Amino acid sequence: MARESLYRLELAIRRVLPEGFKTLWRLGRLAVQPIPPPPPPIPQAQLEGCQLLTNRIEMLRRLPQGGVIAEIGTFRGDFARAILDIMAPEKLHLADVTFSLCRTDVLADPRVEQHEGLSVPFLASRADASFDMIYVDADHGYDAVRADIAAAASKVKPGGFLVFNDFAHIIRRGFGVLGVHQAVCEFAAQSGWPVAFFCLEGEALYDIALRRPE
Ligand SMILES: C[S@@+](CC[C@H](N)C(=O)[O-])C[C@H]1O[C@@H](n2cnc3c(N)ncnc32)[C@H](O)[C@@H]1O
């Protein structure tokens, strides 16, 4: 519990720190955190059916429409708006530590259910195989993404999608240390879930969508 409170405090501080301080904070953590070993490659067989797309909005057009979706990490709600408009889900669950900055038209949408709090307890509280898509875009640190994957994978329906924003491994001003690439490659190689979509995006911060086998 003390650990969770400390983590919440860290997230709250990270939200308000100016970018320069955030970069220092992240680099400081790098000095004390072990660097994980290089990720395993995703086997070629899992990439054969992958569609390469111009951006993540195109992915929303190609994903099965309707259904039950969760966005883990909502921030201002702009991508949630796109999910609602393009995919027309029956239900969109939004999970974030705070919705204070989220646009009101998204929060007021009757299809939206808000879950204010940490991502892992939210995911753990859901029934297995309850989502057609889970979009993971919260804490991008390696341990945090690993924890989100561990909590999310069984909650995706067979044939459903587990999608990650910022599939990258970088140390960069404004983004800090991203462990999404590492954590996702490890999960893909270990689970065998094929890659369905790879979405290009500015600054090489790609989205990757894995599909749970039927
Ligand atoms: C990159 S933003 C999300 C952007 C949004 N998906 C979009 O594309 O418009 C990340 C959000 O995740 C939230 N967040 C970070 N760590 C979290 C955690 N452990 N649990 C829940 N939310 C978290 C932050 O509060 C922030 O609003």
Q: Tell how far the Cα of 161 is from the centroid of ligand 1, in angstroms.
A: 19
Q: Ligand 1, closest atom to CA 76?
A: 9
Output the residue whose Cα is nearest ligand 1's atom 7. 79
Contact 208, 181 (CB under 8 A): no
Domains of the chain: 49-211 (3.40.50.150)
- How far is Cα of residue 54 from the mean position of the Cα atoms in its chain? 19
Question: Does 11 sit in the ligand 1 pocket, CB within 6 Å?
Answer: yes
Residue 14, pLDDT score = 80
Question: Does 74 sit in the ligand 1 pocket, CB within 6 Å?
Answer: yes
Question: Does 95 sit in the ligand 1 pocket, CB within 6 Å?
Answer: yes
Tell me the average confidence (pLDDT) per consecutive run of 10 residues in the chain, 214 residues long. 86 84 76 73 97 98 98 98 98 97 98 98 98 96 93 98 89 64 94 98 90 98
Q: Tell how far the Cα of 210 is from the centroid of ligand 1, in angstroms.
A: 20
Residue 171, pLDDT score = 61
How confident is the model over 103-124, as pLDDT tens digits? 999 999 999 999 999 999 999 9
The span from the CA of 86 to the CA of 111, in Å, is 13
Structure tokens at 20: 């320069």
Question: Does 168 sit in the ligand 1 pocket, CB within 6 Å?
Answer: no
Q: What is the DSSP string of 86-151?
A: HH--SEEEEEES--TTS-HHHHT-TTEEEEES-HHHHHHTSPTT-EEEEEE-S--SHHHHHHHHHH
DSSP 65: S
> pTM of the predicted model, to two decimals?
0.92
Question: Does 148 sit in the ligand 1 pocket, CB within 6 Å?
Answer: no
Contact 198, 46 (CB under 8 A): no
The span from the CA of 79 to the CA of 59, in Å, is 12
Output the residue whose Cα is nearest ligand 1's atom 23. 138
How confident is the model over 3-27, as pLDDT tens digits? 888 889 888 888 888 888 877 877 7
Residue 39, pLDDT score = 85
